[in-house]
Amino acid sequence: MTENELKTLLKTVTPPNKAARAAAHAHWAALAKPLGGLGRLETMVEDAAALMGTETPNLANRAVLVLCADNGVVAQGVSQTDASVTRAVLENLAARRTSVCRMAAAAHCAVVPVDMGIAGTPVAGVINCRVALGTADFTQGPAMSRAQAVQSIACGIELVQAQKRQGVQMLATGEMGIGNTTTSSAVASVLLGRPVQEMAGRGAGLSDEGLRRKIDAIRRGIVVNRPDAADPLGVLAALGGFDIAGLCGVFLGGALENVPILMDGFISGVAALCAVRLCPAAAKAVFASHVSSEPAARLVLEELDKKPLITANLHLGEGTGAVASLPLWDMALAVYNGCYSFAEGGITPYTPQC
């Protein structure tokens, strides 16, 4: 896919279905409970109905896409560990032994590990979407070319299309890549126009000195590459990672295919921000799960105008926060599909008092 082909494709994203949203809202209002009593659990079902074009969204079949990639900026000492940990975690994802795998099993969710570009040879049992063996060090020049950014986005779109063909109705987003809180902080700093020190956190547990190196590396990367916030694809190519670009494609794929995409934490939030900057209509497919303890996570959510379901200081990654929200979806839909109505209970319906 070329950049122009991507732009043309994104013009086909349709707006949410207002009739389906209104029907879902009316259905909630008919149930025997206080109006709006389940708060965001109600509005998220209405948003899903509008996205999917049906009053009765079925979200029983779901999967978490865990996109993995290595980042050249790790050479600047921005992380506790080296790139070998990306491979180790990917191998354990393939063996279904990581944190998100155990949580997904409890939430009746499939785990789909994807190699977007890690160092070394491919890992067995993983979808191969390799763009390159990791990105370049963005303190020395662009992390990737624009063509590689488009390739990564196209892979994300194709992942959604493939999952939909297999009957998956909802996708959670996850990632793994040593150094990817650095790349996401860099992208967010430019797109939000905020100082680097506001956007960069300790990631997996950096020391004070490690955090200083991280902030310095991001600043140097911005100076070297001079990214333009009005060109989100260029920002992604200059400072991002293959995992972030792939996740950007997943959100865009959700908008194209009308599949709800659950945003995880800060990193997938930055990917969602890239998607919405590329295609504002793609916001309809973005569903927030939690607010990460990373410093800039709340700023990204506010920019996207998305409200988190969970506030629990999560910052593990892998899609754990997105998967943790799935039981809330199940409970919301259990009430939506199974609660008795005012009419069935012989109760006078509530009416709005304000």
Going from N- to C-terminal start, the domains of the chain cover 3-56+335-345, 62-330
In angstroms, what is the C-alpha Rg of the chain? Answer: 20
> 78-100: per-residue pLDDT in tens?
988 888 999 999 999 999 999 99
Options 3, 55, 318, 344, the catalytic residue = 318
CATH number of 3-56+335-345, picked from 2.40.30.20, 3.30.70.20, 3.30.2020.30, 1.10.1610.10:
1.10.1610.10
> 261-309: per-residue pLDDT in tens?
999 999 999 999 999 999 999 999 999 999 998 889 999 999 999 999 9
Quote the pLDDT of residue 188: 97
Averaged confidence pLDDT in the chain: 96
- What whole-number percentage of the chain has pLDDT above 90? 90
Is the pLDDT score of 201 beyond 80?
A: no
Gap between the terminal Cα atoms of the chain = 51
Is the pLDDT score of 204 beyond 90?
A: no
| Fold for the domain defined by 62-330 | Rossmann fold (3.40.50)
Enumerate residues 6+ apart whose C-beta is below 8 A from 26.
none
Q: pLDDT-derived band of residue 207, with 50, 70 and 90 as boundaries?
A: confident
**Could you please report the per-residue DSSP string of 272-302?**
HHHHHHH-GGGGGGEEE-B--SSTTHHHHHH
Is the pLDDT score of 211 beyond 80?
A: yes
Cα 22 to its chain centre, rounded Å, is 27
Mean pLDDT confidence for 62-79: 96
Distance CA(141)–CA(67), nearest Å, equals: 24
Mean pLDDT confidence for 10-32: 97
Mean pLDDT confidence for 215-224: 97
User: Is 318 a known active-site residue?
Assistant: yes
Quote the pLDDT of residue 210: 73
Distance CA(142)–CA(149), nearest Å, equals: 11
**Reduced to 3 states, what is the DSSP secondary structure of residue 292?**
coil
Quote the pLDDT of residue 351: 80
Look at 112-121, 191-200, 207-216, 324-333 and tell me which has the smallest mean pLDDT: 207-216
Q: pLDDT-derived band of residue 354, with 50, 70 and 90 as boundaries?
A: low
Is the pLDDT score of 208 beyond 90?
A: no
